[in-house]
Structure 1
Amino acid sequence: MSSHIACWRSGAALTLMALAAPAVAADEERPVSATVGGRLHLDFATFDNDGRGTPNKDDTEVRRAWLDVSGKFFVVDYKLEADFSGDRVEAKDVYISRSFGDAGRLTVGQFKQYFSLDDRTGSNYGSFLERGNAGTTLAPLYRLGASWQANPGDFTWAASIYSLESIDAWQVKGRAAGGRATWAPSPSAGDVLHLGLSLARESYDNPGANGVPALRIRPRPAGHLSDESRLTLVDFSAGRDTDVNKWSLEYAQVRGPLSWQGEFSGATFDDGAQRGDVMAGYGMLSWFVTGESRSYDRKTGRFARIKDIRHTAGAFELALRYDQMRGAQHLDGRPDLRRGSTEAWTLGGNWYLRDNLRLMLNVIESHNRDRLADVTVDRTRAVTGRLQFDF
């Protein structure tokens, strides 16, 4: 534990030193560069709870307060990124990488794994405050590992091997491999067809035993502050090694100011004595009332920053999403001991005052059901909002 803390403190110190220094441009005589960036997301949520369970409390939070420094150090690129919004500083991207031309790029360190369009689209560019259920619970997020990424023509692909540890979650032990491939034939501004597939295989060591966190899928259906509305869909905490297989199918299209996308995702859990299955899917529609289009990055197969805002008052986007997730768990050869589902409708409005400054408002209607008892165990309505700035 002390070695992990020491490593992280050293990394944090290097990051702060880099942030304190002026940006340095690379050239032939001094092939080192540094660029400072960051994001600030200030959120609020107000809830209309029903009488079942503990009510969610109206609240505000600093959802994200990220700082990063990135650039070139001789023959490699680097990035150091941290989130300062919580009780302690949390590491995000901390890696070095090198391009090998058309063959691809090698990345080593801690970085976000390659799983699903929803998760790969950055939090600065999504149409809603929070990603869908699969993006927030199944995606591997930031893990220590090595990856290779390439962009041959209309395709992208990325494959990685990674530890289930991260700089801040060293108690989680295990190993994994995963990857993602996308196809977008000749995408252009306002005209995009995107198809994608993500796969991952993860092997957890002793979840729930000897200080190792349990392995649970517990989505927040009414936003990040809706902890009291969480429903446990699967729970592997008996201390047995657990294998998890994950997948996600992606589809999206952009036609001028309209875009629509959906994903169908799932995972199986097996610890040798019991099995769990999770299935999730969402569909969403976005419309830029002011005529802009969602921007697409063909090199990484994901949505990016809005471009060419047409009006001095900014751009306005309306979005609607339906999101559902189901889970079941049973001992081998026995009936289900847990079966539940959660679903939510979200209506969103985004006002882009500039390409890096926006106001967001979401109205959410969510339900949780115990499928074994065939009863609704929670209904929560929420209004959530965000002031977002990045640089």
Structure 2
Amino acid sequence: MKKLLFRTAILSMLLSVIMTSNIEAQEFRIRGRLHMDSFFGLSDAEEFSNGFNNRRARLGAGGTINDKWDGRIELDFADESLSANDFRLRGKFGESGRLWIGQFKVPQGLNQLTSSNEITFIERSSISNIIAPARRMGVAFEQGFGDAGFKTMVFGRALGERGIFQTDEDGYHNNMPLGIALRGFYGAPVGEGVFHVGASVVYEDFNDNNGLRLRDRPEARDSRGGAVRLIDVSLPNAENTTKFGLELLFISGAFSIEGEYMQMGVSNVDMDDASFSGYHVQTSYVLTGESRSYSSGAVGGIRPANESGAWEIAARYSVMDLNDDIYLGGKQSTITFALNHYVTNRLRFMANVIYVDIDRGDYDKSPLLGVLRAQYNF
């Protein structure tokens, strides 16, 4: 009942913002996205469920408040759930500085920071799902210096998450996770393209909320929303984590290649520390000649040049290793081939074929999976 009341209150607030978007010269617009998937196992995939999956169904509003501030509120209604995405304010400072307040993505990972409307493959690589911390509540500042820039953030929990109540002689208190992140980049123009290099570091202290579980799906979700996870490790005594990331990207006309490496160190109370790492390399070519967009350390999408749309082929190899000494979560390697048809800037159809190889003592299968997606955003 409490969850229902909370969701109703959030939805009412969202609708209130939308309906009053023209008051006091605010320029807010309704925004949203719909990502609909069809999953099917091709071989060695008995534990997966074939069928359809509503991956994302988001509705929100965003726009300018005045000449210095803008805001965004966005909720996801996929699969009968309600979760908060971006809930933030953003203000301009000087020529190229911006202050962020609210919930938004922690600055780590080129693939993670690319919008789900613009990612080349149906799902992000496993390092983006396991290591990069995604959305949290906090305060951030970013500054641009021509072709270079940085963003730093102090963050806590995500909306909807609650801390664990700890008891001491003074009664109850609530200790929440607290972290700090820094990402820097340089995007050098090369002809009509760009060469991007970026690096990030994120430290998070769990503040007595000890316990960490790392796991991921095989870069695809089945009709149950992705219940099957083939790599999984629990660290019940985790005290803090330190994460490092390295990004490389090259875009030249219709061709692009991207690589990322991430490493996570975990400090444990009364147990051995752990270290997990992974990487991905992906490349794409737009058959119709369009170029992938890039701006200020972020990758954009493909904009069709004519009414017949744009066609893209892509391939990715990724590795996520959750094995380290006594921690045996498994190692997952995937090869993904993709075909994308961009009908317009906002309508896209995608097809992925994914070969999965798992290095885990009790698992001897190599699933071959297929996923189709129809997506629209406004």
TM-score by length of 1: 0.86
Cα distance in 2 for partners of 1:7, 1:149 equals 32
SS of residue matched to 1:218: strand
Alignment equivalent of 1:157, drawn from 150, 162, 170: 150
In structure 2, the CA distance between the partners of 1:40 and 1:235, relative to structure 1 (3 Å rule), is same
Offset at 1:241?
Answer: 5.0
Q: Retained in 2: the 8 A contact 1:366–1:381?
A: yes
Aligned partner of 2:118 among 121, 125, 142? 125
What is aligned with 1:231? 231
Does the 8 A contact of 2:119 with 2:301 survive in 1? no
Q: What is the match of residue 169 of structure 1?
A: 161
The answer on 1:66 being equivalent to 2:58 is: yes
Unaligned runs of 5+ in 2: 165-175
CA RMSD of aligned residues (A): 2.3
Give, in angstroms, the shift of residue 103 of structure 1. Answer: 5.5
Quick one: which amino acid aligns to residue 361 of structure 1? A
Q: 2:328 matched to which residue of 1?
A: 338
- Aligned AA (2:375): Q
Q: Which residue of structure 2 aligns with residue 322 of structure 1?
A: 317
Deviations along 1:228-264, one digit per CA (max 9) or x if unpaired, are 24211x3112xx4521011110001011111101011
Give 2:234's aligned amino acid. D
Q: Distance in 2 between matches of 1:182 and 1:110?
A: 22
Residue matched to 2:196: 194
Shift in CA distance, 268/377, structure 1 to aligned 2, threshold 3 Å: farther
Q: Within 1, Cα distance between the matches of 2:279 and 2:298?
A: 18
Query: What residue is the counterpart of 1:290 in the other structure?
Result: 288
Distance 2:205 2:6 in 1: 25
Amino acid aligned to 2:47: P
Q: How does 1:1-391 map to 2 (within 5 A)?
A: 9-20=8-19, 24=22, 30-50=24-44, 55-74=47-66, 76-102=69-95, 104-163=97-156, 165-171=157-163, 173-186=176-189, 190-207=192-209, 214-225=211-222, 226-232=226-232, 234-237=233-236, 240=237, 242-272=239-269, 273-298=271-296, 301-307=297-303, 309-330=304-325, 336-338=326-328, 340-370=330-360, 373=361, 376-391=363-378
User: Whole-Å Cα distance in 1 between the matches of residues 316 and 327 of structure 2?
Assistant: 31
Percentage identity across aligned positions? 25
| Cα pair 2:163 2:209 within 8 Å, conserved | no
CA deviation after TM superposition for structure 1 residue 377, in Å: 3.4
In the TM superposition, residue 71 of structure 1 has moved relative to its aligned partner by 1.8
Q: Secondary structure at the match of 1:354?
A: coil
- Cα distance in 1, alignment partners of residues 319 and 14 from structure 2: 39
State the alpha-carbon separation in 2 of the partners of residues 17 and 241 from structure 1.
Answer: 41
CA 1:204 to 1:154, structure 2 compared with 1: closer, same or farther past 3 Å?
Answer: same
The number of equivalent residue pairs is 362
2:49 counterpart SS class: coil
> What is the CA deviation profile of residues 289-313 of structure 1, one whole-angstrom value per residue up to 9, with x for unaligned ones?
1111111122xx1111323x23322
- On the 8 A contact 1:222/1:229 being kept in 2, the answer is no
Gaps of 5+ in 1: 209-213, 331-335
Contact 1:160/1:178 (<8 A) preserved: yes
Paired residues of 2:124 and 2:219 also in contact (CA < 8 A)? no
- 1:38–1:66 CA contact under 8 A, matched in 2: yes
Q: Per-residue CA shift, 1:162-183, capped at 9, x if unaligned?
A: 00x2112224731101121110
